[in-house]
């Protein structure tokens, strides 16, 4: 997919927006309309290395599972998520959030999306309908993100880590 850029204004300071986006467990709250069934990839959901696995609802997608993780973080301006999706996770994805100040003590988000399909069949499916659907999904996600940070509304379900105690000190009794 050719790089696609989407912009959205949010009436919150960049530090608040950056802090919210740096927690991978928050992503299902504003992307659950096209990225379903989130599973966190590790216990620590904040900062570098944090990420999740999800099912992407795209047209003609038989293998909709994908993942993304935070690979670069320059507070409070840049957040880069890299991942893979599609059959056998062969399609590399890159999602970049660039934050900047606007005139009214708010934040301007510029979201860049990029995918790198390997086979002609993957390229064909992306060109047929998936690029438009993915772009439309992220546009709605940014609008929902603005509603969440400005008014606390349109909030979806936050991702959690399944299972019981993770650390020996929390679950075992001697």
Residue 93's CB is within 10 A of a number of other CB atoms, namely 22
Q: Within 13 Å and on the Cβ side, how many CA atoms surround 71?
A: 12
> Average of pLDDT values for 24-35?
88
Residue 77: band (very low, low, confident or very high) from pLDDT cuts 50, 70, 90: very high
Which pLDDT tens digit goes with each residue over 110-127? 999 988 788 886 666 666
Between 145 and 86, the more confident residue is 145
pLDDT at 132 over 80: no
Tokens of 88: 């056998």
The pLDDT score that the predictor gives to residue 60 is 64
* CA–CA gap between residue 115 and residue 93 (Å, rounded): 4
Residue 106's CB is within 10 A of a number of other CB atoms, namely 19
Q: Are strands 4-10 and 35-40 parallel, antiparallel or unpaired?
A: unpaired
* CA–CA gap between residue 49 and residue 71 (Å, rounded): 6
Question: What domains, with CATH codes, occur in the chain?
Answer: 4-160 (3.30.530.20)
pTM: 0.83
């Amino acid at each position: 997919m050719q790089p696609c850029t989407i912009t959205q204004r949010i009436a919150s300071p960049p530090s608040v927006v950056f802090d919210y986006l740096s927690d991978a467990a928050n992503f299902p709250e504003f992307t659950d309309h096209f990225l379903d069934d989130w599973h966190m990839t590790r216990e620590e959901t904040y900062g570098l290395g944090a990420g999740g696995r999800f099912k992407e609802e795209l047209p003609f997608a038989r293998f909709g599972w994908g993942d993304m993780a935070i690979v670069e973080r320059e507070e409070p301006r840049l957040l880069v998520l890299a991942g893979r999706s599609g059959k056998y996770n062969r399609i590399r994805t890159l999602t970049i959030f660039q934050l900047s100040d606007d005139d009214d003590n708010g934040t301007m988000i510029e979201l860049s999306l990029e995918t790198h399909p390997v086979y002609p069949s993957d390229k064909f499916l992306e060109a047929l309908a998936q690029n438009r659907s993915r772009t439309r999904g992220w546009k709605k996600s940014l609008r929902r993100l603005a509603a969440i940070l400005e008014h606390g509304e349109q909030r979806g379900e936050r991702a959690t880590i399944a299972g019981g105690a993770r650390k020996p000190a929390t679950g075992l009794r001697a």
